[in-house]
Every structure is written in C-alpha cells, then in structure tokens.
Amino acid sequence: MFCYQCEQTAQCSGCTSFGVCGKDPETAALQDLLVDVCKQIAVKAQAGGRSREADLFVMEGLFTTVTNVNFDPDDIAMVIRRGAKLCDFEPAADMDGLVKQGEAVGIESRKNTLGDDITGLQELILYGLKGMAAYADHAYILGKEDDSVFAFFHEALASLKQDTPTVDALFSLAMKVGEVNLTVMGLLDEANTGTYGHPVPTPVNINAVKGKAILISGHDLKDLALLLEQTEGKGINIYTHGEMLPCHGYPELKKYKHLVGNYGGAWQDQRAEFEAFPGAILMTTNCIQKPKENYKARIFTCGLVQWPGVQHIDNGDFSPVIEAALEAPGFPETEPEKNIMVGFGHNAVMSVAPTVIDAVKSGALKHFFLIGGCDGAKSGRNYYTDFAEAVPDDCAILTLACGKYRFNKLEFGEIGGIPRLLDIGQCNDAFSAIQIAIALAGAFDCGVNDLPLSMILSWYEQKAICILLTLLHLGIKDIKVGPSLPAFITPPVLNVLVEKFNIAPTTTAEADLAQCLGN
C-alpha cells in the first residue's frame, strides 16, 4: 500500500505497510480502486454520460475514502461494484482480484510514470475534492445542492485521468477546487442555518449530568436532530463530542433540554474517552478510530462511516443506540457545572460588528488570530495551545474545527464585553470566518490581507486541504500551516506556494507570534 493523504502518515512520507490510522493494505487498495472508479465515471460523464446516480456516487465515493471514515473492506467492495455499473469498469470477481486492481491504480504506479511533483499536485487536487465531497454530502443531506458543483467533480476527476498533465494546468485546477469549495461551504452554511437557525452565543456544560447518556460525534447536524427527537422524554441525556460541539449554538437543536453538554476532546482521544463514557456512542462522520473491545458493543456508526463489526445504522432509526444507552449505567452523579461558549458564527459576530470595529479603532483590540483546523495525535500540536496562551490580552482569537480543543477550555476573558475567544464552529464554518474577514475588510476599507489578522492553521485530513485551497483561491497570504507540511507537497510545489502566497510552516509559537505582530 501507499497512502500519504493525511498528516499522520508514517515518517511524514507515506504509510506503506499499514496505515497509522488503522487502515489495512486491503482497504487501502480498495479505496484507491474506488477513487479510480469515480474517475472513470467522471470521464464517462464528461463524454455525455452524466446522470443523477453518477453525481451522487462520485460525491459519496470520494467522501468514503476520506481519512478515518470507512475501514470496512467488504462495504467498500460493494460500493465499487455499484460504481462499476455506472462506467465501463469490469470489477474482479473476488476480493483478491479487486485488491490487485486497486494496487494497479495506486499512487505508486503514477509516481513512477509521472514523477513526484505531478503526482503530488494530482493528489492535492484529489484530496481537496474529497474534503469538498464531505461538505457537499452534508449539504445534500439537508436538501441543498448545486448542479455546477456536481459538474465540477466530474470535470476535475476526469482531468486527473489525463496521461500528460502539466504543472500549470494542475495548479489552476487546484485553485478552482478552492473556488468551488467556497460555494460548497456556502451551501452547507445555508443548509445548516436554514434548517436549524443561525447559531447564537451559548454556554455549554463540559461536566457530567446524572443519568443515562448518549455521546454523538462527527459533523452531521441532521443525525443529531434525529437523535434528539427520538430520545426526547426517554430519560437519556445527549452529549456532543468533537466536531458536534458547535451544535449547541443552533436554536433548533439547543431547544432540546436533554442536549446537556459536551464530553471529551478531539477525535484522537476517543479510545480513552469512549471507554470511560458510561453510555452509547454514535459516530456520524469522520473521525472513527479502531474501537476497543470494551465499548465495541455500544458504539454505532451511521452515514458513510463504517468499521468492521460495528453496528451500522443506515435508516435514521436510532433505536439500537437508545437501547444500548438504557442498558449502560449512565453517569452516577451530577458534577458542578463548568461552561465554555460556542455560537459565534458569522451572523452572531456581524451583530456585534460595530463594537468590534470601535474596539479596533480605539486600539483596545489590536489583532485577530484565526487559530484552528483539524487536530491530530502527533506530538508538536501543543504549538497551538502555546500559541493561544501567548496571544496578548489586547488580541482576539477566532477558532474553528476540532483543533480548538487544544485551548477552548482555557480562560481568555473579554475585550469591551466581547469574549477574546470566539468559537466560530466546525471546520466547514471556515465559510463563516471568511465572511467575517470580508466584512471586517469592508468596514476598514482594505483587503483581507491588510487586516490585523493572522491565520494559524492545523491540518490533519482532506477537509483541511479543501479549506486551504479556498483560502489560497481568495488570495489570502501569510498563512501558517502545521504541525508538518503535507507529504504530497514536494519542494518545487512548496516553492510555488511560498512565492505566490507566502505560506509558511509553523516554527515555534513564540517566533511565529512575534512575526504576526510585526515584533
């Protein structure tokens, strides 16, 4: 196998014998094959064979191969066979044959023929498309879609099948992924806020409440809404985990009294946290890790997430989760309440814009830092905690995605009544951050790059890639990315990114902070 699509890839170069994430070589080959089938469907679509089924297949197929989503080879094989019917691909009759077909279209074969730079750029585009597919799927589930987005998936995937790609063409395509992803994040924003209302600043209890419990993780708001409806009046408390935390700010979700709080931290701590959680657990999207035996019977997956041997719910009926929660002991005691704040989406921040602008003009608020992105397990990520802690008191921190857990339980205080730490939401709420930055630039009559704003991003999986491409498409410069740079970005490609966007790897919190503040 060869996979280098995420930040924790082995030796910062590629997983070759087994995925650090837990992906085995068989699943890796099948994921490569599934991606290739998506490309073949796209080629056919470009030749006039586009269909609704092809649109949806490509979106879900790509999302299936995002890091930490689907680890079940049997399920992926089934998806490949379904996809083969939408193009001219002949799938092998058995699993061994499918794995061989996957190995033949893997990254290594292309690295040999096209070289590392071209292959790396192709993968940059592919990973951006994978992240975008995840967001498009969330929006689609809530009834929002855009034909031009589906058309672009085909256009981009079909170009990745070309035999003689050029660096320039691939680079423009990568920027186009960023552009289309902005549309997709906008669609998802409309879907989430249109269905559940605009998030409002809301305190969230991070301590336990006595009673039976279900923990829900991932990004899919509809799954949470369904779970809340189905558990109402059943004496079960619902806790959010990981990227579900921002859901507490949505009026149509926070109205449920049994949505009692947030439990645990980011995805990479789940094995210890889920073991200790005295109830049932529902994984709605990435990031699942290999479940421990002692909670395997009380963890469930839904949507595109799957783990072999873990019960999957695909009809929106969460009765098995509810039964498992009722069988589990629940929390024996209520702990003293401890709150953190969420709900600072673009609507909430815009509503206090005059106060923010006055604070900047008076010099009370000197600089904004956007510190966020995907969290991960590798050492070096305490950089983000150190950075947030070192931000001077006259500066505000905007945060989003699961990287916030590095510092969101620390005390940051306020500036003129505005909290210094503003939790904008999930990773896809980068859309909100962009709207806020554009509005601020408008208010100060300058460009986003001229604002007293620095972006310090952490990356882990492919959704961070599509967001990064969106920021680059918008021409945003001086972004700092860490804790390490993607293995698929080769030195010549990095040089181009540095030249055009002054993108820089994170160094030390102290040095980077000083540089951002011009000290």
Virtual torsion, Cα 181, 182, 186, 189, nearest 10 deg: 70
Q: Contact between 465 and ligand SF4 (CB under 6 A)? A: no
Instruction: Determine if residue 38 is labeled as part of a ligand binding site.
Output: no
Instruction: Determine if residue 219 is labeled as part of a ligand binding site.
Output: yes
| Contact flags string 190-229 toward ligand SF3, x per CB under 6 A | -----------------------------x----------
Q: Contact between 137 and ligand SF3 (CB under 6 A)? A: no
Residues 6 or more apart in contact with residue 235 via CB below 8 angstroms: 211, 212
Q: Contact between 34 and ligand SF4 (CB under 6 A)? A: no
CB 465 within 8 A of CB 124: yes
| Contact flags string 310-349 toward ligand SF3, x per CB under 6 A | ----------------------------------------
Instruction: Determine if residue 87 is labeled as part of a ligand binding site.
Output: no
Gap between the Cα atoms of 236 and 473, Å rounded:
45
C-alpha separations of 393 from 367, 383, 411, 416, 417 in Å: 10, 18, 11, 12, 13
Q: Contact between 377 and ligand SF4 (CB under 6 A)? A: no
Q: For residue 277, what are its two tokens? A: 């959680």
> Of 144, 283, 143, 130, which Cα lies nearest the Cα of 220?
283
| DSSP summary character for residue 72 | -
Question: Which residues from 9-28 bind ligand SF4, rule CB under 6 A?
Answer: 9, 15, 19-21, 23
Q: Which residue in 8, 262, 286, 435 binds ligand SF4 (CB under 6 A)?
A: 8
Q: Contact between 467 and ligand SF3 (CB under 6 A)? A: no
401 makes contact, choosing from ligand SF3, ligand SF4, none, with CB < 5 to 8 Å by partner type, with ligand SF3
Residues 6 or more apart in contact with residue 101 via CB below 8 angstroms: 33, 91, 92
Gap between the Cα atoms of 354 and 105, Å rounded:
55
188 makes contact, choosing from ligand SF3, ligand SF4, none, with CB < 5 to 8 Å by partner type, with none
Gap between the Cα atoms of 113 and 111, Å rounded:
6
Q: Contact between 67 and ligand SF4 (CB under 6 A)? A: yes
Nearest-CB residue to ligand SF3? 374
384 phi and psi, to 5 degrees?
A: -70, -35
Contact window for ligand SF4 (CB under 6 A) among 8-16, 71-79, 376-384, 451-459: 8-16
If the CB atoms of residues 267 and 488 are measured against ligand SF3, the closer one turns out to be: 267
227-236: b (≥16 Cβ within 10 Å) or e: bbebbeeeeb
We find the least distance from the C-beta atom of residue 211 to ligand SF4, in angstroms, to be: 37
If the CB atoms of residues 19 and 128 are measured against ligand SF4, the closer one turns out to be: 19
Q: For residue 486, what are its two tokens? A: 């993607």
Gap between the Cα atoms of 277 and 325, Å rounded:
10
Instruction: Determine if residue 427 is labeled as part of a ligand binding site.
Output: yes
We find the least distance from the C-beta atom of residue 15 to ligand SF4, in angstroms, to be: 3
We find the least distance from the C-beta atom of residue 403 to ligand SF3, in angstroms, to be: 7
20 makes contact, choosing from ligand SF4, ligand SF3, none, with CB < 5 to 8 Å by partner type, with ligand SF4
We find the least distance from the C-beta atom of residue 193 to ligand SF3, in angstroms, to be: 17
> Of 255, 260, 207, 254, which Cα lies nearest the Cα of 235?
260
Gap between the Cα atoms of 247 and 123, Å rounded:
32
Tell me the torsion sign for CA atoms 504, 506, 509, 511. Answer: negative
State the number of binding residues for ligand SF4 (CB under 6 A): 12
Footprint of ligand SF3 on this chain (CB under 6 A)? 219, 242-243, 267, 286-287, 374-375, 401-402, 426-427, 460-461, 463
Binding residue numbers: 3, 6, 15, 21, 219, 243, 287, 374, 402, 427, 461, 463
Footprint of ligand SF4 on this chain (CB under 6 A)? 3-6, 8-9, 15, 19-21, 23, 67
